[in-house]
Amino acid sequence: MNAGTVLERINKGLETLRRSERKVADVVLADPHGVVRMTLAELAETVGVSQPTIVRFANAIGCDGFHDFRIQLAQSVALGIPATQSVIEAEDGTATLVSKIFDFSITSLDHVRRHLDPQALDRAVGAITAASRVVFIGLGASGIVAMDAEQKFPLLGVPCSAPIDTHQQFLAASTSTPSTVLVAISNTGRTASILDTVRVARDRGATVVGITGGPSPLTELSDIALIVESLDNTDVYTPTISRLAQLVVIDTIATMTLLRRGESALGDVREMKTRLAQMRTGLPYQGGADRREEI
């Protein structure tokens, strides 16, 4: 009962509440923003129950008094109202829509942050740091994430590739060795071709890191499974949220790898950043002068 944000907990525990506490829950869910600004007495009046009932409600959903409840609710609201509560509607104005989509994205990231397993992350970083080659594979939205990783990891001194189509992916898996790490990204964890490719890599002794949205065949096939659990997403209008969280997870792995590599890799990254800034604006490569400064 103590996991997740208050709003999630209220939703979850609706059935276990007493009748008048439930009335409180309804009001809170109907207008969380408004409730945040209310005082105990005001909320009691709005709901139509007595003040102690509100306090008992707060305790029931795992808060330590009304004070604590209000603060936790404020935090919940700051992250945006959970997706189940705010559905995108055709009548929404632009500002509302922006609000809803950003809220949804933020809530989703927050959710992943709370449910990510640091130990699995540690092992993934360990494997990648030790690898002679890293292959990222994914299709569709996850393919984008793989490409993003491909941009990132070479900077850390990790040779890597992100083959785009299924054949190229299969090929890369077929040529993998025990020192290869295959990072398979698939939100469903059930995409057939990805699973095939993973099996081949396993057979050849490669270490498989699976990034996926929940327990699935891919989880089973992975040596290291990273569950990046995004929120339910049945709505037609709702954008694909999983890739955002996946990207942040990749960011985290990259940063951890960089930290493990220590100062030597750091110098390279700094130099790269400077060079890139020059290149962007079209200045010619300046050679020695800069090198001395950067290394």
The alpha carbon of 192 is separated from its chain's Cα centroid by a whole number of angstroms, namely: 23
What's the min distance (Å) between Cβ of 28 and a second copy?
Answer: 15
Taking CB within 5 to 8 Å according to partner kind, which of a second copy, DNA, none is near residue 164?
Answer: none
Contact between 129 and DNA (CB under 7 A)? Answer: no
Contact between 19 and DNA (CB under 7 A)? Answer: yes
Toward DNA, which CB reaches closer, 69 or 104? 69
Contact between 51 and DNA (CB under 7 A)? Answer: yes
Instruction: Please give the single-letter amino acid code of residue 186.
Output: S
Residues 53-92 that bind DNA (CB under 7 A): 53, 55-56, 58, 65-68, 70
Rounded alpha-carbon distances, angstroms, from residue 123 to 144, 210, 261: 24, 12, 15
Taking CB within 5 to 8 Å according to partner kind, which of a second copy, DNA, none is near residue 77?
Answer: a second copy
The tokens describing 252, both together, are 């985290």
Give CA–CA dist 131/178, Å, rounded.
9
What are the residues whose beta carbons fall under 8 Å from the beta carbon of 69, sequence distance 6 or more? 6, 57, 58, 61, 63
Toward DNA, which CB reaches closer, 20 or 175? 20
Toward DNA, which CB reaches closer, 58 or 149? 58
Rounded alpha-carbon distances, angstroms, from residue 88 to 1, 11, 14, 28, 113: 28, 19, 24, 20, 24
Please classify residue 15 by burial: count the beta carbons closer than 10 Å to its beta carbon, then call 0-12 exposed, 13-18 middle and 19+ buried: exposed
Toward DNA, which CB reaches closer, 49 or 160? 49
What's the min distance (Å) between Cβ of 78 and DNA?
Answer: 18
Residues that bind DNA (CB under 7 A): 18-21, 39-41, 48-53, 55-56, 58, 65-68, 70
